[in-house]
């Protein structure tokens, strides 16, 4: 008996029934919910939202990386990943990048640690986050690099994000 057969036999013994053929979904009308209850629908059509009468100013994406990083430079946000598992760390980096982009920030310092207590040379987090960033996960990332020594050196990564900049006409 194959593993698939064993799995399906176990599911049948637990009382799980296969879905079988499902009826096609009913077409929905563009209706507005009444105040009587969240599931009750009235037949009032929803008016489309009016378009704005102005056109937004054009913009372009520019990197927030300064020409030179000196001791006066401070990142806009910081994330410390000490003690995290790699999967959790990558999730936190992704979430913080999305939050930084939504808030219009230009840089993020990710502290991974140097991996001195790690069994893997160079540390699991540092290498994992670096590889994840190289795979191009986000279109909001302009560039990333090892942080300068006064910010943590090889134990931290400095990520620069794109910012919207109005186009001068």
Reported as a single tens digit per residue, the pLDDT across 104-140 is 888 899 999 887 776 666 678 888 898 888 887 667 8
Cα distance from N-terminal residue to C-terminal residue, the chain? 72
pLDDT tens sequence across 64-107: 777 678 788 888 899 999 888 889 999 999 999 888 888 888 88
pLDDT digits (tens, 9 = 90+) for 18-32: 666 655 656 555 444
Contact 97/159 with Cβ under 8 angstroms?
yes
Tell me the two tokens of residue 32.
């507005």
CA 92 – CA 84 distance, rounded (Å): 10
- State the SS3 of the chain: CCHHHHHHHHHHHCCCCCCCCCCCCCCCCCEEECCCCCCCEEEEECCCCCCCCCCCCCEEEEECCCCCCCCCCCCCEEEECCCCCHHHHHHHHHHHHHHHHHHCCCEEEEECCCCCCCCCCCCHHHHHHHHHHHCCCCCCEEEEEECCHHHCHHHEEEEEEEEEEECCC
């Amino acid at each position: 008996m194959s593993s698939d057969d064993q799995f399906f036999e176990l599911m049948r013994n637990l009382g799980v029934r296969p879905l079988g053929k499902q009826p096609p979904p009913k077409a929905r009308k563009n209706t507005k919910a009444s105040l009587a209850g969240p599931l009750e629908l009235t037949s009032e059509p929803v008016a489309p939202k009016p378009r704005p009468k102005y056109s937004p100013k054009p913009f372009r994406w520019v990197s927030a990386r300064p020409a030179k990083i000196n001791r006066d430079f401070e990142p806009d946000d910081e994330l410390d990943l000490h003690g995290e598992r790699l999967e959790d760390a990558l999730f936190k980096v992704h979430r913080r990048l999305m939050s930084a982009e939504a808030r219009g920030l230009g840089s993020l310092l990710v502290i991974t640690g140097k991996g001195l207590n790690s069994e893997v040379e160079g540390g699991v987090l540092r290498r994992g986050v670096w590889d994840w960033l190289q795979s191009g996960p986000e279109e909001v990332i302009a560039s990333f690099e090892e942080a300068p020594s006064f910010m943590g050196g090889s134990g931290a990564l400095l990520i620069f994000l794109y910012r919207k900049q109005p186009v001068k006409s």
